[in-house]
Amino acid sequence: MKSILSLEASPCDAARATSELTTRRHRGHAPTLARLSHGSLGDVGDRNLAQSVIASFFYGDAMDLGLTDRVVIVTGATRGIGRAAARSFAREGARVLITYRNDASAADAVVAELRASGAPDAASAYLDLGSRSSITAAVDAAIARWGHVDTLVNNAVQWGTVGPWNAPAFERVEPDYWRPLFESNFEGHYSAIQAVLPSMRARGWGRIVNISSGIAVDGMPGSGPYAAAKAALHGLTRTLAKELGPAGILANVVMPGFTMTERNLERITPSMRDEAAAATPIRRLLVPDEVVPIVTFLGSALNTSVTGEIIRSSGGST
């Protein structure tokens, strides 16, 4: 697509080329998209293979996003949206550091995958959203390896031990439970931004993409601490856009909807998936590789002006 959608092409030519290529690709991959979004593929290996096919659909002929040799940190990237985002940046030639909290071997596997995908270099680091020192250490590891940080994707999340459908009444949720969830899912991202800013300010360039959730604006019973943390992240991002814009640093939020991550495939029943899919305009749920193109764009040099925005990547679900 790079040769067809060059900056010299007219808007009409570019639109026609994009439409033609998208239609051609969707025709071949629609059955796989539908099966994956409904969770009807077999084991995890089958689903990983299907997601790889879908990734090739989205990134087979990529535009030049100006990410070659850029340094990107993607937190919480051993699976799901974080892993898909890390792969997307790697395909664009970025140097990618991913973080993990529980599974170092899974992180090693993703690092190998990123190198095979085109990243000139990739690495992993431990990061716990509840530990400011671990956040600082992860950022320091990227700077020690590559000299600076260009892009931060705040994707890591700390889940509660009780799902929203099993949560007690709001007034019965104890502070010992909700405070760590709120602090990790808001203050952890706050700390990561603080850690990367000196490097970004020094270079006069930076991109911050905070991954949120539709729950932040739509709400969901039983999700009070998580929803509050994500909503706080929205306010922070809009404030940072105004504060950091003069320094050449852009900050945005991406709000996925109900996405078919490994976690959701493991925890959500088929009937719940079908109900959620039926509520979307496209009548199916997105897989991670469909969510992350907007993340990659916002974190790239091609994004020269979008900042302070809260953008859904959800197949139209609200």
Report the catalytic residues: 226
- The Cα 299–Cα 301 span in angstroms is 7
Q: Which of 296, 313, 306 is nearest to 118 (CA)?
A: 296
Q: Whose structure tokens read 């090739």?
A: 56
User: Any idea what DSSP says for residue 286?
Assistant: B
* Chain-centroid distance, C-alpha 206: 17
The CA-CA-CA angle for residues 58, 306, 77, to 5°, reads 50
Provide the β-strand partners of residue 97: 73, 123
- 3-class DSSP state of 312: strand
Kindly tell me the burial class for residue 208, based on how many C-beta atoms sit within 10 Å of its own C-beta (0-12, 13-18, 19 or more): buried
